[in-house]
């Protein structure tokens, strides 16, 4: 005899609705706008604020799901990852070319190698950090949702919904 899965009573999981990470549930929210002044001008950013705890850290769980966010099939990941990696190449390739073209000046080559290593570590840490942070957020919500009887959509359905939002 199979044990019944644990189902917690409470709010129903809504994959495409804002989720308060502080209250750990879908709550009523209000949208707000924040104006940021920079040297290049001002920009307005939208945020959602939980009406229960006041947290401005509400996010939509679907945005942390890679299939939904990219709206692409996994076989297209190499293409999208290639596009993301173009940015570091614009910084790294010129340094490699300069290293190859420099004369036997060991001091200058050493500084360029140091810069090359620093940029490589910076881009790997930035992209890796963003990926693991979003993976952590989505996994935490998914665990919460499964305790409430939510069944994950198939990958193809998540991709279709992500493509519709564009």
- Give me the pLDDT at residue 67, please: 63
Q: With bands split at pLDDT 50, 70 and 90, how would you rate the model's confidence at 165?
A: low
- Give me the pLDDT at residue 125, please: 85
Q: With bands split at pLDDT 50, 70 and 90, how would you rate the model's confidence at 83?
A: low
Let me know if residue 71 belongs to a domain: yes
- Give me the pLDDT at residue 164, please: 61
pTM over 0.85, yes/no: no
Of 88, 81, 99, 19, which is closest to residue 55 (Cα–Cα)?
Answer: 19
Let me know if residue 108 belongs to a domain: yes
- DSSP states of the chain as a string? -PPPPP---SSPP-TTS-BBTTTTB---EEEEEEEEEETTEEEEEEEEEETTT--S--B-GGGG-HHHHH-S-GGGHHHHHHHHHHHHHHHHHHHHHHHHHS-S-HHHHHHHHHHHHHHHHHHHHHHHHHHHHHHHHHHHHHHHHHTTT--PPPHHHHHHHHHHT-
Q: How far is CA 90 from the centre of its chain?
A: 22
- Give me the pLDDT at residue 8, please: 54
Let me know if residue 145 belongs to a domain: yes
List the domain range (segments joined by +) for residue 100: 60-164
Let me know if residue 101 belongs to a domain: yes
Let me know if residue 68 belongs to a domain: yes
The total domain count for the chain is 1
* Residues 89-135 pLDDT 10s: 787 788 788 777 777 777 877 888 888 888 888 888 887 887 788 78
Let me know if residue 115 belongs to a domain: yes
Rounded Cα distance, 13 and 19, in Å: 9
* Residues 67-76 pLDDT 10s: 666 555 455 5
User: What does the pLDDT average to over 148-162?
Assistant: 77
Q: With bands split at pLDDT 50, 70 and 90, how would you rate the model's confidence at 79?
A: low
Q: With bands split at pLDDT 50, 70 and 90, how would you rate the model's confidence at 15?
A: confident
């Amino acid at each position: 005899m199979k044990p019944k899965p644990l189902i917690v009573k409470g709010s129903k999981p809504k994959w495409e609705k804002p989720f308060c990470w502080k209250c750990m549930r879908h709550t009523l929210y209000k949208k707000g706008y924040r104006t940021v002044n920079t040297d290049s001008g001002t920009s307005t950013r939208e945020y959602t604020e939980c009406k229960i705890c006041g947290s401005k850290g509400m996010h939509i769980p679907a945005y942390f799901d890679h299939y939904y966010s990219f709206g692409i099939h996994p076989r297209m990941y190499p293409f999208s990852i290639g596009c993301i990696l173009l940015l570091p190449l614009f910084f790294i390739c010129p340094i490699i070319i300069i290293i190859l073209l420099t004369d036997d000046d060991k001091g200058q080559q050493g500084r360029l190698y140091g810069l090359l290593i620093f940029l490589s570590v910076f881009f790997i840490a930035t992209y890796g950090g963003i990926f693991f942070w979003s993976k952590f957020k989505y996994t935490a919500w998914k665990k919460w949702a499964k305790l409430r009887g939510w069944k994950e959509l198939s990958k193809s359905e998540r991709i279709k919904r992500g493509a519709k939002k564009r």
